[in-house]
Amino acid sequence: MTLLPGDGIGPEVAAATVRAVDATGARIHWHEVELSGAVIERTRQSVPDEVLRSLDDTKVGLKGPVTTPVAGGFQSVNVALRKKLDLFANVRPVRSFPGIHTRFEDVKIDLIIFRENTEDLYSGLEHEVVTDVVTSLKVITRTASIRIARYAFHYARTHGRRKVTAIHKANIMKLADGLFLRCAREVAQDYPEIEYKELIVDNASMQLVMRPETFDILLLPNLYGDIVSDLAAGLVGGLGLVPGANMGQSHAVFEAVHGSAPDIAGKGVANPTALMQSAVLMLRHLDERASADKLQAAIERVYADGKTVTPDIGGRASTTQFTDAVIAAM
């Protein structure tokens, strides 16, 4: 198992998660590889060779956040890693959490976002035509669109989910988003037992805020998936709680979707829940189901109790105290 702690609060939440996973009794051998802004600057590689060698060997990784420069600097590590390993499906389950006070406390939210992970505007094809005039190409292909749609519908069928909603802006981007929709409709015909719907992305955003309980599986191109998954995380308590999985044909990388939070790095107050829940997804992928269930149940017990949660949730516990509580709850 490749462990990529990242930077900022990454090493703290990664260490906490390793402790929690090991406490479940799962048979995990960790191979830790450094992946940080400093390493990227030194090697001049968005994904250093050592990281790729380790992931090619283990096929599975658990990754903490890595700081990405804004409006300059090196390419996003997440984008580069997904492209190099063809991690085409970004999967983010978003569920109501016990003990978390939100405006939706009386509503059960249980949705899963399936985001195409390799193309769209994240292809990075930008060009300055003349000074202060920039074009950025949105790339949508049939191959990628069919692949993510089949992944989402197959998951729905095998996990007893009832509805898939494709999110788009095909009223404006008739060719690009139109192709994505045509592919989703084609795949939907092979899954007649799954209800299929379509929503324009701005309407979908409003509906998520007003009636989040009406959604089940959301199928989106890359950019909309990025934005909507953060919006959905806000419905249940924020990015500090929501896990993420990047799935490919041969590799899988599980990660916390929040940032590196350098302002609290080293203070011992970072919330490791998102990475711990990503580790739950990882354990299920590895068929360590008993360990996955044990860790998930322990996290939920700590939140339901509410006495040992971190400051971002309104508590006073340190990262170590929270982790101790999770382990004790097992």
Q: Residue 156's domain is classified under what CATH number?
A: 3.40.718.10
Q: Are residues 286 and 330 in the same domain?
A: yes
The single residue of 169, 177, 196, 303 carrying the catalytic annotation is 169
Q: Is 226 labeled as catalytic in the residue annotation?
A: yes
Do 32 and 3 touch, CB atoms closer than 8 A?
yes
Q: What is the pLDDT of residue 76?
A: 73
Determine, yes or no, domain membership for 296: yes
Q: Which of 236, 267, 282 lies at the terminal end of a domain, its last residue? A: 236
Do 55 and 78 touch, CB atoms closer than 8 A?
no
What is the distance between the alpha carbons of residues 130 and 148, in angstroms, rounded to a whole number? 36
Do 243 and 253 touch, CB atoms closer than 8 A?
no
Q: Are residues 281 and 155 in the same domain?
A: no
Q: Are residues 122 and 34 in the same domain?
A: no
For residue 7, the number of C-alpha atoms closer than 13 Å in the C-beta half-sphere is: 14
Report the predicted TM-score, pTM, of the whole model to 2 decimal places.
Answer: 0.94
- Name the DSSP class of 151: H
What is the distance between the alpha carbons of residues 279 and 255, in angstroms, rounded to a whole number? 8
156's CB contacts (< 8 A; 6+ apart) are 162, 163, 164, 191, 194, 216, 217
Instruction: Show pLDDT as tens, one digit a residue, over the chain (330 residues).
Output: 999 999 999 999 999 999 999 999 999 999 999 988 788 888 888 888 999 999 999 999 999 998 765 444 456 788 889 989 999 999 999 999 888 988 887 889 999 999 999 999 988 889 999 999 999 999 999 999 999 999 999 999 999 999 999 999 999 999 999 999 999 999 999 999 999 999 999 999 999 999 999 999 999 999 999 999 999 999 999 999 999 999 999 999 999 889 899 999 999 999 999 999 999 999 999 999 999 999 999 999 999 999 999 999 999 999 999 999 999 999
The single residue of 22, 202, 305, 307 carrying the catalytic annotation is 202
Pair of tokens at residue 59 = 């096929």
Q: What is the pLDDT of residue 43?
A: 84
Element (H, E) at 127: strand 126-130
Do 231 and 127 touch, CB atoms closer than 8 A?
no
Which domain does 291 fall in, by range? 1-88+237-330
Q: What is the pLDDT of residue 232?
A: 96
- H helices of 59-119, in order, are 77-84
Q: Which of 209, 236, 263 lies at the terminal end of a domain, its last residue? A: 236
Q: Are residues 246 and 185 in the same domain?
A: no
Return left, alpha or beta for 158; rule: phi > 0 is left, psi -120 to 50 is alpha, else beta. alpha
Determine, yes or no, domain membership for 274: yes
The single residue of 83, 122, 196, 312 carrying the catalytic annotation is 122
Determine, yes or no, domain membership for 290: yes
What is the distance between the alpha carbons of residues 115 and 91, in angstroms, rounded to a whole number? 7
Q: Are residues 216 and 248 in the same domain?
A: no
Place of tokens 């990388």: 253
Q: Are residues 251 and 324 in the same domain?
A: yes
**Which amino acid is it at 58?**
T
Dihedral sign from CA coordinates of 185, 190, 192, 193: negative
The single residue of 7, 120, 177, 226 carrying the catalytic annotation is 226
Q: Which of 187, 214, 236 lies at the terminal end of a domain, its last residue? A: 236
Q: Are residues 225 and 191 in the same domain?
A: yes
Q: What is the pLDDT of residue 38?
A: 81
Q: What is the pLDDT of residue 70?
A: 47
Determine, yes or no, domain membership for 96: no
Determine, yes or no, domain membership for 33: yes
Return left, alpha or beta for 72; rule: phi > 0 is left, psi -120 to 50 is alpha, else beta. left
Q: Is 324 labeled as catalytic in the residue annotation?
A: no
- When divided into structural domains, the chain yields a total of 2
Q: Is 57 labeled as catalytic in the residue annotation?
A: no
